[in-house]
Structure 1
Amino acid sequence: MAQQITIYHGSDHIIEQPIYGAGNPHNDYGLGFYCTESLDLAKEWGVSDETDGFANEYALDTAGLSLLDLNRGDYTILHWLAVLLENRTFRIAGDIAPTAKAFILERFAVDYRAYDVVRGYRADDSYFSFASAFLNNALTLNRLEQAMALGNLGEQVVLLSEKAFGRLTFRQAHSAERALYYPRKIARDDEARSIYRTELKVADLADSPTILSIMQEDWRSDDARLRRIVFE
């Protein structure tokens, strides 16, 4: 990561000074300040069906900050899923899912709280349909990877530590018109749901490992069968 990067936070109001410790602890990567390097994506996040919004622009000085990049290196989609399962709240149903959740948290947990900044793929509520199907043994690992990569929901840059908040400088706020950006936001969600329906229709539980076979074979995070880079 470059020493200084430009990031944006979508909101219904201007935020010149983000507050460390504020926010929703049940977001993808827990309590933090959620940003993106895409101005257009931040504008989508900032609008609703009723109101315009803003993309707040910041400079982040990353010198001396520790970065966890879940889209590169030694991490896999199961590490990413473990972080989401730790933070996001959604209904776990079925006979297999509770055991599958416990297995993923035990085998693929990531000590993300030891880092100042996390970069990773974004999940919204529609994408938890994929996670639920995988945990219930209705979607294979390959299909889960393909579906998530096709979703085009973008990467997040999340500030976790007080040190990272202290390296943030507000530049300006870009207005976001709901008439333009809300339809784009809905289109992304519709695309995700369409991919989900398609993947379930074509899912062949023999074409790659399922969570049941992964548990039966006791896969570990260093298993050679796991893809190291999923979201390119």
Structure 2
Amino acid sequence: MTITLYHGSDVVVPQPLAKVGRNNLDFGLGFYATKIKKQAESWAIVIASRKGRATTPIISQYKFNLDSAKADGIRFKVFEEYNLEWLDYVVACRQGKTAWKQYDIVEGGVANDNVIDTVEDYEKGIITAEQALGQLRYKKVNHQICFINQKVIDNYLIFEKSITISTKE
């Protein structure tokens, strides 16, 4: 199975790099993409707006050969839902711990504006895991996939095209 993935930015990214970016993100250091085009558009708009008026939001589109990657023994971690394992993993990564290094790809929900307050309250000990999971149960799970291993990117992620996002209404 081949899936389409999108990366939102202010530049075209024909050759993604796994070791560029910040360490303390949801799933660790890697190249992030999503199956949800609208989500990538939102990310691109936010990134471009942070950089100023002359910057244009752009989506890079890829094909990812999931079956070939799995057949070749790529180390996947998939979080199907917001659960305690996801919560503890995201908190650990955001605290700079390196659980992500045991995987080539991590996939699951985004700790975005809809859920970040819950994650941060749990991280600070303001709420328990049970309370956090109770709140997360009602949140719509967005999608992100983090490519941690550069060889996986080079062998299975194929750039297709870039799409410029119009911000004019």
Q: TM-score, normalised to structure 1's length?
A: 0.58
1:69 alignment partner, one of 78, 97, 107: 78
1:115 to 2:103 alignment: yes
State the AA in 1 paired with 2:158.
T
How far did residue 111 of structure 1 move?
4.6
The CA distance in 1 between the partners of 2:134 and 2:59, in whole Å, is: 30
Q: List gaps (5 residues or longer) in structure 1.
A: 91-104, 181-232
Residues 85, 152 of structure 1: alpha-carbon distance in 2 compared, 3 angstrom cutoff: same
In the alignment of these two chains, the number of paired residues is 157
Residues 179, 5 of structure 1: alpha-carbon distance in 2 compared, 3 angstrom cutoff: same
CA contact (8 A) 2:8 2:60 kept: yes
Larger strand percent? 2
CA contact (8 A) 2:17 2:150 kept: no
Q: TM-score, normalised to structure 2's length?
A: 0.77
Q: Which secondary structure does the structure 2 equivalent of 1:15 belong to?
A: coil
How far did residue 145 of structure 1 move?
2.3
Q: Structure with the greater relative contact order (CA < 8 A, sep ≥ 6): 1 or 2?
A: 2
1:13 to 2:11 alignment: yes
CA contact (8 A) 1:77 1:145 kept: yes
Q: Map of 1:53-92 to 2, 5 A cutoff?
A: 53-62=57-66, 63=68, 64=72, 65-71=74-80, 77-89=83-95
Over the residues paired in the alignment, what is the CA RMSD in angstroms? Answer: 2.7
How far did residue 14 of structure 1 move?
0.7
CA contact (8 A) 1:68 1:112 kept: no
The CA distance in 1 between the partners of 2:142 and 2:102, in whole Å, is: 24
CA contact (8 A) 1:44 1:176 kept: no
Counterpart in 1 of 2:41?
43
Q: Which secondary structure does the structure 1 equivalent of 2:26 belong to?
A: coil
Moved more, 132-141 or 24-33: 132-141
The CA distance in 2 between the partners of 1:45 and 1:153, in whole Å, is: 16
